Chain A
Amino acid sequence: MPLTTELRVYDHDETPPGTWPVFRVMDEDGSLRDPSVGQSYIDSHSPTLDEAHAIKMFRTMARLSQMDHIFLNAQRQGRISFYMSSQGEEAVHIGSSSALTLQDTIFAQYRETGVLMWRGFTMDQFADQCFSNKGDLGKGRQMPVHYGSRALNWHTISSPLTTQLPQAAGAAMAMKLKAKREGKDSSDGVAVCYFGDGAASEGDFHAAMNFASTLETPVIFFCRNNGFAISTPVRDQYRGDGIVSRAKGYGMYGIRVDGNDLFAVHAATAKAKEIALRENRPVLLETMSYRVGHHSTSDDSTRYRSTDEIKKWTEEDNPIDRFQRYCEGKGWLDDKMVAQIMDEERMQVLQALEKAEKKGPPELSTLFDDIYKEKTPELIRQEEALLEHIAKYPEKYQGGGH
């Protein structure tokens, strides 16, 4: 795919001829591909992309990376039942999340942990959810990595793929109407909907694109094209030019970005948001990167791809390394600092893990909560029967967990 240093979001009537180009600011070695253009993007960042901010971004990527590594191992050790990592997509997460605010409402798929992390979800909250313990915001209702946070305007992860796409269009519609009713020119935020290259094959994708366009809703459809859907490589998933090329068919804006380039992801996301808010139209944004890790802890990806391929991406085009090299070039990081940050984040993750492991299971008395806004008589009846039963055999209902 051709690379471009021009930040351009294409409308449907002016799409690029041939293969859509990949927008990039920073090369693999951390240097700006086109210094004058690249520097202007960096300089126009809001908030300012200064040393402090850059280190914060690096640190967050480091924390995500450590979390993935440690939680994966925790699953293999039998301490949590399941985990999904984001290895290889750290720049996609932090780059995009740092261009959004809490006014933007997020619908994600399951491989966007870093987006939530940047928004403020703590390691304790992550660990509590994965351990499904009594501190879990989700009250022990969901499998690991199905995070939810009303406070951070992040919709609880829902397993069926792609259902979040038309929902995001609907949420954006509601946000647009709310702004209208309040006499505002535009909505306070956009809906941002993350999904993968495989999810884009579902019928819901087509319906969502169509609706977002015809109803004119401020939503960013953010496709993380990482090359795989479990074992299905993109060659078997579609034959068109990735996902972004479909934008033209729906009358939408589109842009393709180098997902391993933190600056490019940030700039493109900010631009997409600006357009969506100003024009009340959806934008299809596709990041190109590589899923370094397995699909989940239930997968062994070496069964369908070579370890050489994985190694190549890890060593030659690593998003964290690329950003690190840029920061080193600016004198903001050196080996010692990097090692220290990695170590600090590792400790933080380990502590959260250990703390969460000891917290104990959620209260059985919450089993019948939140089915409806108010409990129906039948539920109350069942709950009373259960609590009575537990009171009779307390020793049979202690502890547990999966």
Chain B
Amino acid sequence: MLSSARFSVKNALRLNSRFMSSTTEVPVREALNMAIDQAMEEDDAVYVMGEEVAQYQGAYKVTKGLYQKYGERRVIDTPITEMGFTGLAVGSAYKNLKPIVEFMTFNFSMQAIDQIVNSAAKQYYMSAGDIACPIVFRGANGIAAGVAAQHSQCFAAWYSSVPGLKVVAPYSSEDAKGLLAAAIKDPNPVVVLEQELLYGTPFPMTEEQMGKDFVIPIGQAKIEREGSDVTIVTFSRGVGISLEAAEELATKGISAEVINLRTIRPLDRETILSSVQKTGRVVSVEDGWPQCGVGAEIAAMCMEDDATFDSLDAPVQRLCMADVPMPYAQNLEEAAVPTVGDVVESVSKIMVRQAAA
């Protein structure tokens, strides 16, 4: 389906792998599975809940094998009611269990958004510290392939605007395992935005990263590729296409620094701003819509900080999905989503500004 080289995350993989002595190629879904398995083994209070997570092994097989290992008390297949099982999980978290709630995709989380925002996110504050909610909401988010409007929305901007929630968005298998492990351990409610298109993509993982103690701190971005001419700030699928774009830009003499946000809330201001101060130019890349998106926050952040604003040589650019509900037809879909070429063009636009004649 999405076979054009420009869209290929496998290219990004080749560019990304390091030749370390002992790494194993692990697909993202298996890395997620490892994180959940290890957490469940270590802490009896951790349990998984969602549609098709148990006997079916998970709609995307992320929970494969867990039902067989831990049984129906800890891997719970639910009736079809997102508001219901989310509410149930929230109530159990209030009572010190640690639920991992799977949404088949975050598009369906809208059915449960009141429980997520009005209860899970706000209750600790509203109860003045009485009632904590150590819950994880996870599932596929954002652009997929050929599933159209109601299955392709990115919820990063929506959830990351809410105080009380933490929001992470892994790209690689290392990200997936480390961030999910951190989310499960975190005593606050955490939204984990996975990417369906990346579930099957293998990334190299070290022994340490596959081990049970591996955690990526929430709130820390990662510089995937160092550069000096422009900063590309992105997350999830955007990281792959930005790394490919960086390769292409290099052939044109443009050195791009690619930041993998990893966490959308709280944003790693320090990493972002010091990079922008270094390069003076910034492009944000996301799969969500433009208005009030993550890119808007990056732009505001750059301008609100004196040192960063002073260092800008060009306006902040944001590359987003087209301002339309996702269409189905393949050609329409490809035209609506950010591609490697779009990243290259966004960067090129701000490298040289022509003065008006």
Contacts and interface: CB of A to CB of B under 8 A. Distances in A.
Nearest to A162: B87
Interface string B60-81: 0000000000000100101101
B132 interface: yes
A105 B91 CA distance: 11
Given A138-B128, A141-B125, A373-B132, A208 B119 contact: no
Contacts of B76: 215
A33 interface: no
A138 B118 CA distance: 16
Q: Which of B73, B95, B129, B163 has the most CB of A within 10 A?
A: B95
A167 B76 CA distance: 16
Interface stretch (A39-47, A78-86, A168-176, A390-398): A168-176
A167 B126 contact: no
Interface string A276-300: 0000000000000000000000000
Given A170-B95, A173-B92, A371-B164, A203 B127 contact: no
B129 A163 contact: no
Interface of B: 44, 73, 76, 78-79, 81, 83-97, 114-115, 118-119, 123-132, 163-164, 166, 187-188, 219, 266-267, 269-270
A83 B129 CA distance: 24
A204 B84 contact: yes
Contacts of B118: 158-160, 163
Contact of B87 (A204, A376, A379): A204
Interface in A136-177: 136-139, 141-142, 146, 148-150, 155-156, 158-160, 163-175, 177
A169 B95 CA distance: 11
Given A169-B88, A378-B269, A373 B83 contact: no
Contacts of B270: 377
Nearest to A191: B91
Contact of B79 (A156, A204, A210): A210
Contact of A173 (B78, B83, B88, B132): B88
B91 A148 contact: no
Contact of B91 (A136, A168, A203): A168
A328 interface: no
B89 A137 contact: no
A214 B127 CA distance: 30
Nearest to A142: B126
A367 to B, nearest CB: 10
Contacts, number: 157
A378 B115 CA distance: 25
29 contacts: A138-B127, A139-B128, A148-B127, A155-B131, A156-B123, A156-B130, A159-B118, A166-B85, A167-B88, A167-B119, A171-B92, A171-B95, A172-B91, A173-B97, A174-B97, A177-B97, A206-B81, A207-B85, A210-B81, A211-B84, A211-B85, A215-B88, A370-B127, A370-B128, A371-B124, A371-B164, A372-B166, A373-B132, A377-B269
Interface in A307-362: none
Nearest to A181: B44
A160 B90 CA distance: 14
A208 B81 CA distance: 10
A159 B219 CA distance: 31
A274 interface: no
A241 interface: no
A128 B268 CA distance: 39
Given A376-B266, A378-B266, A370 B83 contact: no
B12 to A, nearest CB: 30
B40 to A, nearest CB: 14
A163 B92 contact: no
Nearest to A174: B95
Nearest to B266: A376
Nearest to A378: B266
Contacts of A170: 87-95, 97
A363 interface: no
A158 B118 CA distance: 8
Most B Cβ at <10 Å: residue of A164, A204, A210: A204
